[in-house]
Amino acid sequence: MVKKKARKQKRISKPKKHNSRPKAHNSAPKSHNSKPSIVPKGLSSEGVSWVKKAISKGFERSQVVELLKNIDQIQAGKMISYYDKLKSQKEKSEKAGKDIISSPKRIGKAKTGKKSEKKSGRPPAKEKLKPIIGTPSSAQLTDLKKRLEQLEKIEAERQKREEEEKKRAEEELKATGELLEEPKEAKLGKSLKARKGKMSTGIANLDKITGGGLETGSTNLLIGGSGNGKSIFAIQFLIEGVKKGEKVLYITFEERKEEFYDNMLGLGWNLKKMEQSGKFSFLSYTPEKVKTMLEEGGGEIESRVLRGKINRVAIDSITAFIMLYSNDVERREASLALFKLLRGWDCTSLLTYERDPLVDKRSSSRVLEFESDAIILLYFLRLKKKRERFLEVYKMRGAEHSTDIYPYTISRGGIKLSNSPFSGNLDRFREV
């Protein structure tokens, strides 16, 4: 009996075996305590990696939207949503001196050191542009990668041009410090000392009311409705350059060369003969090609301008190019890229844009107007029994100019601007 009790007591006192490994709930926090992932449900790891790469390279939201417009819209929406959240976290972490973009699978506090390597059993995944499984085709991804590279190239060239322009502006400012001391009573028509000099427009009285014409190296905008003579103005500006021994280039999206040459011959301008002399060049281009030119950072037109040492360029008209872009953000980016490109060519540019300044209230030209060095408005109105044409210099940086409106006519020899300003008021036609 005593032996049985002893054995029973021995069994009770025998210690139980314990697992050497700590229980999961003792070593790691529960899932509900960990920081929730911001990766949208259903977004592949390749999509996550692609968004991270876009952010690391500094791409704006509008650029990401543009690059993803040709893939599956559901995936694209998730990637854009992820971009917004990741960008927001990145900005917050930068203020705190932390780096958020570290984990290939989850965005949270960065886990580094031997512990994380031991747990995963493999080195961290490299972030590179991989195909997004089940969404775009390989051809679309290849195109996407090319466009990323093109945007990087455009951005690098843009920064280079900005630095060159800043340096050139500083040099010009040193050379022309006396401009600040120009007397206020200087008479209109006497050329103020412009930073780069003036370039004649070929229209006598226009040169007079602008203090000598357009500024050399500037980018200028000519706005007017149909029938105002925008193309004639552009050609007259170029022909003036030919007369002075300069090389000029006319780029058109709409005109056919032979028909255009015949029309200009009626005004007394033999463009074919000028072309044969090597001074005048005609280039028929599509708006889509100009878009490609911007993506490539110059392309054929830039090569032609720089190789041919072109002094004057006229683009007639820029309207079709602007209409390629569906929203204001895209139009703004394209317009800025175009103006940066033109200023890098070291020539004087004239762009025509079709819009009636009195009636048409479209905002598509607003960015162009803001970036332009000069804006000239053309009006074509019915007064009494016939239509008459008027010209107004709306804006001209770096020069004093008349604020009056002047009548003009079109005849053999081109545009002839009246010496006397219009005495009436055109505001009454704004609702016509």
Enclosing H/E stretch for 224? strand 219-224
Q: What is the pLDDT of residue 285?
A: 80
Rounded Cα distance, 301 and 289, in Å: 10
Rounded Cα distance, 425 and 401, in Å: 19
Query: Does residue 149 fall inside a structural domain?
Result: yes
Contacts of 418 (CB under 8 A, 6+ apart): 205, 406, 407, 408
* Closest CA relative to residue 110, chosen from 91, 93, 128, 129: 93
Q: What is the pLDDT of residue 239?
A: 96
Q: What is the pLDDT of residue 136?
A: 61
Rounded Cα distance, 49 and 127, in Å: 6
Q: 148 and 264: one domain?
A: no
Query: Does residue 178 fall inside a structural domain?
Result: no
Q: 160 and 224: one domain?
A: no
Q: What is the pLDDT of residue 7?
A: 56
SS3 state of residue 188: coil
* 279-318 pLDDT tens trace: 999 998 887 877 777 777 777 788 888 888 999 999 998 8
Q: Is the omega angle on the peptide bond into residue 349 within 30 degrees of 0, that is, cis?
A: no
Classify residue 299 by its DSSP letter. H
Query: Does residue 128 fall inside a structural domain?
Result: no
* Closest CA relative to residue 391, chosen from 373, 374, 409: 409
Query: Does residue 344 fall inside a structural domain?
Result: yes
Rounded Cα distance, 412 and 418, in Å: 16
pTM: 0.55
Number of structural domains in the chain? 2
Instruction: Determine the residue type at 403.
Output: T
Q: 360 and 419: one domain?
A: yes
Q: What is the pLDDT of residue 259?
A: 92
SS3 state of residue 347: coil
Query: Does residue 125 fall inside a structural domain?
Result: no
Query: Does residue 142 fall inside a structural domain?
Result: yes
* Closest CA relative to residue 192, chosen from 211, 210, 208, 173: 211
Q: 162 and 211: one domain?
A: no
Query: Does residue 418 fall inside a structural domain?
Result: yes
Classify residue 428 by its DSSP letter. G
Query: Does residue 119 fall inside a structural domain?
Result: no
Neighbours of 276 (CB within 10 A): 10
Q: 206 and 337: one domain?
A: yes
Rounded Cα distance, 79 and 136, in Å: 13
Rounded Cα distance, 325 and 321, in Å: 8
Q: 208 and 138: one domain?
A: no
Q: 270 and 415: one domain?
A: yes
Please state the length of the chain: 432
Q: 158 and 201: one domain?
A: no
Q: What is the pLDDT of residue 183?
A: 40
Classify residue 401 by its DSSP letter. -
Does the CA dihedral 390-394-397-403 come out positive or negative? positive
Q: What is the pLDDT of residue 142?
A: 76
Q: Which residues pair with 252 in a beta bridge?
A: 284, 316
State which residues of the chain have pLDDT below 50.
18, 20, 22-35, 99-120, 126-133, 176-195, 431-432
Q: What is the pLDDT of residue 329?
A: 82
Q: 262 and 408: one domain?
A: yes
Q: 156 and 295: one domain?
A: no
Q: 371 and 223: one domain?
A: yes
SS3 state of residue 410: strand
Contact in structure between 221 and 377 (CB atoms under 8 Å): no
Domain limits for position 415: 196-429
Instruction: Determine the residue type at 163.
Output: E
CATH of the domain at 293: 3.40.50.300
Rounded Cα distance, 320 and 318, in Å: 6
Q: What is the pLDDT of residue 265?
A: 93
Q: 395 and 253: one domain?
A: yes
